């Protein structure tokens, strides 16, 4: 084993880089990609300086591995989107809270329908006739909770 380590060349490092990155793809969430990047950098350094001792190669690999992981963690905290309770990504219905619409089907026994853009949505609220202006106050699954603003049966 020691004789192998003493004879490391650039292509050993580049092969290790490819293997580590492939393993990362097979088991995402592990730090293998960053170790693969470090191995690739050591392979490139070995192309430029082919006479590096094996101790220096392993030291460079350790430094580049730690540096790449720390840099990745730093960018994740620095560039991460601000967390917010108001994020509505993948929660389309919540985007409509506070908007007003008109009933296209009356609310009877607490259930009715409104038209939002090109879609029809079920609503739950106080009974009201067609054309009543309502405001969306909440969402329960795919059903809007609504409040009557004004009854306008002419619409």
Distance, in Å, from the CA atom of 32 to the CA atom of 6, rounded to the nearest integer, reads 24
Asked if 75 and 101 sit in the same domain, the reply is no
**39/58 Cα distance (integer angstroms):** 10
pLDDT band of residue 4 (cuts 50, 70, 90) is low
Question: Does residue 71 sit in the same domain as residue 101?
Answer: no
**Nearest residue to 34 (alpha-carbon basis) of 55, 64, 8, 59:** 64
Tokens of residue 67, six digits: 């540096």
Residues 6+ apart with CB under 8 A from 145: 123, 124, 125, 136, 137, 138, 139
Domain boundary among 30, 49, 79: 79
Q: What is the mean pLDDT of the chain?
A: 86
Average pLDDT (118-129) is: 92
Judged by average pLDDT, the poorest of 28-32, 40-44, 60-64 is 28-32
> At 142, phi and psi to the nearest 5?
-115, 15
Q: How far apart are CA 152 and CA 91, in angstroms?
A: 30
Residue 110 has a pLDDT of 93
Q: Are 45 and 52 in contact (CB under 8 A)?
A: yes
Q: What is the pLDDT of residue 81?
A: 65
pLDDT at 114: 94
pLDDT(88) > 60: no
Q: What is the model's pLDDT at position 153?
A: 53
Residue 150: exposure state from Cβ atoms within 10 A (0-12, 13-18, ≥19):
exposed
pLDDT digits 0-9 by tens, 131-145: 999 999 999 988 999
Can you give the pLDDT at residue 62? 96
Residue 85 included in any domain: no
Whether 104 and 142 share a structural domain: yes
Looking at residue 76, what is its pLDDT? 82
Q: Domain of 44?
A: 2-79
pLDDT of residue 125: 94
Cβ–Cβ under 8 Å, residues 46 and 58 = no
Residue 87 belongs to a domain: no
> In the predicted model, is pLDDT for residue 67 greater than 70?
yes
6 shares its domain with 75: yes
């Amino acid at each position: 084993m020691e004789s192998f380590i003493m004879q490391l060349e650039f292509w050993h490092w580049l092969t290790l880089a490819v293997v580590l990155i492939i393993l990362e793809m097979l088991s995402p969430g592990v730090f293998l990609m960053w170790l693969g990047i470090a191995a690739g950098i050591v392979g490139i350094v070995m192309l430029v300086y082919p006479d590096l001792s094996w101790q220096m190669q392993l030291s460079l690999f350790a430094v580049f591995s730690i540096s790449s992981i720390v840099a990745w963690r730093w960018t994740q905290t620095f560039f991460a989107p601000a967390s917010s309770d108001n994020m509505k990504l993948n929660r389309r219905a919540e985007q409509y809270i506070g908007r007003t619409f008109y009933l296209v089907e009356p609310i009877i026994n607490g259930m009715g329908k409104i038209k939002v853009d090109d879609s029809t949505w079920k609503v739950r609220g106080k009974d009201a006739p067609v054309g009543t202006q309502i405001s969306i106050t909440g969402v329960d699954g795919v059903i809007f909770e609504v409040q009557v603003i004004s009854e306008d049966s002419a619409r």
